Structure 1
Amino acid sequence: MRSAFFLQLALFALLALAFTEQTSTGAEAGASAPRVTVANPIAKTIDVWDEYTGRFEALKQVQVRARVSGTLDKINFTDGQFVKEGDLLFVIDPRPFQIAVESAKADVTKARAQVALASTDAVRAEQLAASRTITSREVDQRNANLEVTKAQQLAAEAALRNAELNLEWTQVRAPISGRVSDRRVDAGNLIEGGQTGATLLTTIVTLDPIHFVFDASEADYLRYARLSAQGQRPSSRDVKNPVVVRLADESEWKHMGVMDFVDNQLNARSGTIRGRAIFQNKDLFLLPGTFGHLRLFGGNVAAMLIPDSAIVSDQASKTVFTVTPENKISVKPVQLGQIHEGLRVVLAGLNPNDRIVIDGIANPFVRAGALVAPQDGVIIAVSN
């Protein structure tokens, strides 16, 4: 029994020794600093492109309405086709207006006859007055009658022109060139014309060129204004600054345009100002109402370039791990910009001498204040 006791005691001692050696080895491994790759950011002056969202709008949009009332006789276009200015779109029954023209012509003929008669009477009155056959009052009366008939002739001629104009308006023509929408009224319907309450027949929009409208923040407006005042970036009111647009299904910024308008005031409710760019649209691919992302040239800025993988998201903020001279991790919040030459632009938060952790961030031991073993690396930009 005593031998068995000493045997168990010896086994226990061996197990304790093995556990102590394993614990010591784990502690040494845990105490070793994790390796990370560090590099200095690339300092470079780059062109800044501010990004906005907006929609395309037609330069011109016209609601086609008739100027006279009547029965719609004909529709001379196919829904959605491209029309030119002056093309005949709708025909209103012209017969009532033709009758009005004939009646107005008769009134003009009558007025001219009355003018001729009154003119003859006035001449005779002058002759009779010379021989004292009639009084001066009668001469004045006949001259007055002549002027009245001349005025009646002018009124009749004006009524004729109005009747002819109404007859012309029975042919509703395209006021602009562009793509027409669908017909809103079918032939055979009675439509209303005039300046108010006229029936909407269709709409036409121009497509080439086309506008892109967006809203910029008050902060952006103030930055642009100060850059303009300092001579660093011309105002889009004075110079057609370049812009590019990417559509919702596109990954590249392929649509090139220029600025052509900045509004004269900020929206007091939204704190934004409206801007507008213009694009060529020869293939008529871009349609009014199409959503897109726009980049506007925002001037030159001195920035730092780092890999996108070196950025750590911390809730609403973006941070970068740097290594101090004591080889400890320091966390720096940064202000990010666009992607340039394959790298992320850092507008604020870094300096050229910072050693940025570009590899090894995924290691759970790499955190603020942790001791690390840095290895030198290089950040390489990719030319566009």
Structure 2
Amino acid sequence: MNKQKATLVGIIVIVVTFGIVATLFKTKPAAPKKPQETKAPLVEVLVPQSETVQFEVTSHGVVQPRTETSLVSEVSGIVQKVSEQFVAGGYFKQGELLLKIDPTDYQVAVEQAKARLSSAKAQYAQEKARSEQAQKEWDLSGRSRQNAPSLALREPFLLEAEANVESAKADLKRAEQKLKRTVIRAPYDGMVKSKNTDVGQFVATGSQLGVTFAIDYAEIRLPLTDQDLAFIDIPAVTQQSDSTTPVTLEAKYAGKIHQWQASLVRMEGVVDQNSRVHYAVARVVDPYSILNQQESESDQAPLKMGTFVTAKISGVEMSGLVKLPREHFRNLSEVLVSNFENELFLRDLNVVRAEADMVYVKGGLEPGDKIVVTAIESPVQGMKVRLEGFEEENDDENSSSDDAIAAGDTQSQPRH
């Protein structure tokens, strides 16, 4: 009986407790509800401005000499003398002696040729005298010289002697020419690229002695796409003179970035079959700053052959363009804009030129459009936004509109 009473008392206590809790929940005062405010997202915008743009087309290339020559020996012999400047990187002037081959054998050949020429001239003089004597004897016979046989007048012997003289002259000229070729002189102002022989070495006819190149100016082949051609003044394919299109070359030398001025002089007449690019040729005068030392800048670094350079070609000028960072474009030509009413829209712009960092557009924007810089994953056409930096104007507009609404409500209330 005691256990039943205890159980009954426990049940009564639980029921009473639940009743008290339910009563408290029912009599709990309701929490005041605040009106839910939906605030438009805050975005950063860029105000587009029209401007005149001087385009610059960038390309890359390797500096090459305008003329490169392989020096080849035209005679054989032992190298007798080598210029101090005939070393890799050595500078020489036009006409300067570079190498000399032992000329002894060729001097002897010249003397022998002179002796043969003298002998041939003597034989010719003898035959000429004999021919004149034969003509006199024929005339004394009273017969006409026109009917005289050529052998009687010794004409064939005279022609043979004359031919021997001409052959001896040719032999002498050849011997003298070979003697001159024992001295190798510089064909132009230039530098030595490589040296393949030295003093005491025997060289045969056709042996390569070294490689030289001219330094009056250098050339750089610059690959350009078909789109790049639309933004530069294209020189004619046959044009060989200096162009008015300036080119700035940049490269690193001795740990610093240096610049050299060049000009676009011509277009190559073929298109690369593999890459389908066009090649323009830029020319830089006196790349080593040697020829015109007085006119050259004292701190101008030499532009060495084989240097990889970045070329910035001065292009055409266009007005009425808007320059925008490429990162603000969602696709190739679409950007998010905010109009006069701070509504979000997607605009398809007319892209004139797209570069690595910047995009130039002309058309597609409406008055009052501002470029939305803040990234929005799922933009909704026409959604309201708040513009960073323009919040005061927005608040003033909203407050003035609220005041106008409040004033309208006051006026519409009935009088008591």
Determine if the TM-score, normalized by the shorter chain, exceeds 0.5. yes
The equivalent of 2:338 in structure 1 is 323
Classify 1:113/1:6 alpha carbon distance in 2 versus 1 (closer, same or farther; 3 Å).
farther
Classify 1:267/1:182 alpha carbon distance in 2 versus 1 (closer, same or farther; 3 Å).
closer
The equivalent of 1:80 in structure 2 is 89
Structure 2 residue runs of 5 or longer lacking an equivalent are 1-12, 291-301, 391-416
Equivalent position SS for 2:89: coil
- Between stretches 168-177 and 317-326, larger displacement belongs to 317-326
TM-score with structure 2 length normalisation?
0.70
- Between stretches 249-258 and 63-72, larger displacement belongs to 249-258
Aligned length: 348
Return the offset for 1:349: 6.4
Return the offset for 1:326: 5.2
Classify 1:138/1:34 alpha carbon distance in 2 versus 1 (closer, same or farther; 3 Å).
closer
Return the offset for 1:253: 8.8
Between the aligned partners of 1:70 and 1:173, the Cα distance in structure 2 is 17
2:45 equivalent among 38, 44, 51:
38
1:312 aligns with 2:358: no
Equivalent position SS for 1:41: coil
2:174 equivalent among 162, 165, 184:
162
1:300 equivalent among 304, 317, 328:
317
Equivalent position SS for 1:181: strand
Is contact 1:323-1:356 (8 Å) kept? yes
Classify 1:45/1:164 alpha carbon distance in 2 versus 1 (closer, same or farther; 3 Å).
same
Between the aligned partners of 2:62 and 2:24, the Cα distance in structure 1 is 81
Between the aligned partners of 1:240 and 1:37, the Cα distance in structure 2 is 46
Return the offset for 1:65: 1.2
Is contact 1:63-1:202 (8 Å) kept? yes
Q: Which amino acid aligns with 1:272?
A: V
The equivalent of 1:102 in structure 2 is 111
Structure 1 residue runs of 5 or longer lacking an equivalent are 225-232, 378-384
1:264 aligns with 2:269: yes
Q: Which amino acid aligns with 1:175?
A: P
Q: Which amino acid aligns with 1:277?
A: A
1:283 aligns with 2:282: no
Structure number with larger C-alpha Rg: 2
Classify 1:354/1:240 alpha carbon distance in 2 versus 1 (closer, same or farther; 3 Å).
farther
Is contact 1:56-1:290 (8 Å) kept? yes
Classify 1:278/1:7 alpha carbon distance in 2 versus 1 (closer, same or farther; 3 Å).
farther
The equivalent of 2:387 in structure 1 is 374
1:351 aligns with 2:357: no
- Between stretches 285-294 and 117-126, larger displacement belongs to 285-294
Describe the superposition over 1:320-371 as per-residue Cα deviations: whole angstroms up to 9, x where unpaired.
33114553433446645469xxx94523564363633465x26x67856564
Equivalent position SS for 1:137: coil
- Taking only the aligned residue pairs, the percentage that are identical comes to 21
Between the aligned partners of 2:23 and 2:283, the Cα distance in structure 1 is 91
Return the offset for 1:7: 9.2
Is contact 2:246-2:261 (8 Å) kept? yes
Equivalent position SS for 1:182: strand
- Between stretches 298-307 and 35-44, larger displacement belongs to 298-307
Alignment of 1:13-162 (within 5 A): 31-76=38-83, 77-132=86-141, 136-137=148-149, 140-162=152-174
1:242 equivalent among 225, 242, 245:
245
Between the aligned partners of 1:122 and 1:149, the Cα distance in structure 2 is 11
Higher RCO, 1 or 2 (CA under 8 Å, sep at least 6)? 1
Is contact 1:241-1:297 (8 Å) kept? no
Classify 1:307/1:263 alpha carbon distance in 2 versus 1 (closer, same or farther; 3 Å).
closer
Equivalent position SS for 1:351: coil
Classify 1:8/1:349 alpha carbon distance in 2 versus 1 (closer, same or farther; 3 Å).
farther
Between the aligned partners of 2:262 and 2:81, the Cα distance in structure 1 is 41
Between the aligned partners of 1:6 and 1:306, the Cα distance in structure 2 is 74
Equivalent position SS for 1:264: strand
Between the aligned partners of 1:346 and 1:367, the Cα distance in structure 2 is 24
Is contact 1:34-1:365 (8 Å) kept? no
Between the aligned partners of 1:133 and 1:301, the Cα distance in structure 2 is 100
Return the offset for 1:214: 1.3
Is contact 2:81-2:100 (8 Å) kept? yes
Return the offset for 1:303: 4.7
